[in-house]
Amino acid sequence: MKKLFVIGTMVLAAMQASAQTQVQGVQSSKTQETVKVVTKEDNHLFNHLGIGVGLGVMNGLSFELAAPATNYLALRAGYNFIPKLKMDVDFDTDFSDMSAATRNDPAFKAYQIPEEITVEGKTDLGTAHVLVDIYPFQLSSFRVTLGAYFGADKIIKVYNKNDGDLIGVTNWNKDSQDPTKLIALRALNGGKLDKVGFDMGDYFLEPDDKGNLEASIKVKKFRPYVGVGFGRAVPRHSRVTCNFDLGVQFWGSPEIYMKGANGEEKLEKTDLSGEGSKALEIMSKVTVCPMMSLRIVGRIL
């Protein structure tokens, strides 16, 4: 009897151990399945969301949202805030070499043309962007970025500060085209009879019939972008990381528009002489905009 009791106890113990092993096996199997599911879900489209804040050259202060599409792709969208800057631009009127007697001649004083005229320039370089980051190597943060920037077409506007204050220049330019006044005007200007105006690159600007000047440098509103960089748009192994971007924005050949009696008109290149700002001259010829930025990005979901 005792032997049967001992044998029965051993059998029950063995069955219990076998049952526990089976339960542990099932639990282990479920854990592995869970890991697989989590790993699989980790590749789902837009399963995470990141936010970034950056500072850059021609980017200004940028804010953007990002999401991974796959292990090799990520999408970004945001806005780049650049303050609208105003600056005074001085133009020589080409009359600085006139003698005091000529300058005080009543015939010339009637035009009231100073040696130098100041106009105001204003920039508008803020943009929005949509970008795709391509990661060629799954384990590397190096990426190639393609996309586009969107902004106002008038990146620079030039205008006179006070309404009608360039009427003297308007009258001079008008009279310089009048054959009956050529001799007198040539004598006043040392034998020259150039129009008074301002250079913006290869373009000659002059005020309208009311003595006002308003011109702008226009580029494309839609500007393709290509660049390279380092850093994941949405961090993988940490909550916060840094990104670096270097690229170019293609905004096309700038065009110069003047506001006149018939509205805005596109100007053609001209050989007329005039004094201009070197900065405006450079901007009127640049076809690509180089960009560089450093961002702090974080994963919020």
Assess contact for 297 and 231: CB atoms under 8 A: yes
Answer yes or no: do 276 and 231 share one domain.
yes
Residue whose pair of structure tokens reads 């060629």 in the numeric block? 136
pLDDT score at 292? 96
Domain that holds residue 1: 1-39
Neighbours of 39 (CB within 10 A): 9
pLDDT score at 28? 45
CA distance 213 to 229: 43
Answer yes or no: do 93 and 188 share one domain.
yes
pLDDT score at 33? 44
Answer yes or no: do 35 and 98 share one domain.
no
Answer yes or no: do 242 and 294 share one domain.
yes
Strands (E), 42-141: 50-57, 60-68, 73-81, 86-92, 116-123, 127-134
CA distance readout (Å), 248 to 53, 66, 149, 154, 223: 20, 20, 10, 19, 10
Answer yes or no: do 35 and 75 share one domain.
no
Count of domains observed in the chain: 2
Answer yes or no: do 30 and 54 share one domain.
no
Assess contact for 284 and 198: CB atoms under 8 A: no
Consecutive 10-residue averages of pLDDT for the chain (301 residues): 41 42 45 43 70 94 94 95 89 66 72 80 94 93 96 92 87 79 65 68 83 91 97 90 96 87 77 59 84 95 82
Answer yes or no: do 122 and 25 share one domain.
no
Answer yes or no: do 28 and 127 share one domain.
no
Answer yes or no: do 6 and 133 share one domain.
no
Longest dimension (CA), the chain: 145
Answer yes or no: do 15 and 113 share one domain.
no
Answer yes or no: do 117 and 165 share one domain.
yes
CATH of the domain at 98: 2.40.160
CA distance 218 to 251: 9
Answer yes or no: do 262 and 288 share one domain.
yes
For the whole model, what pTM was predicted? Answer: 0.74
pLDDT score at 183? 64
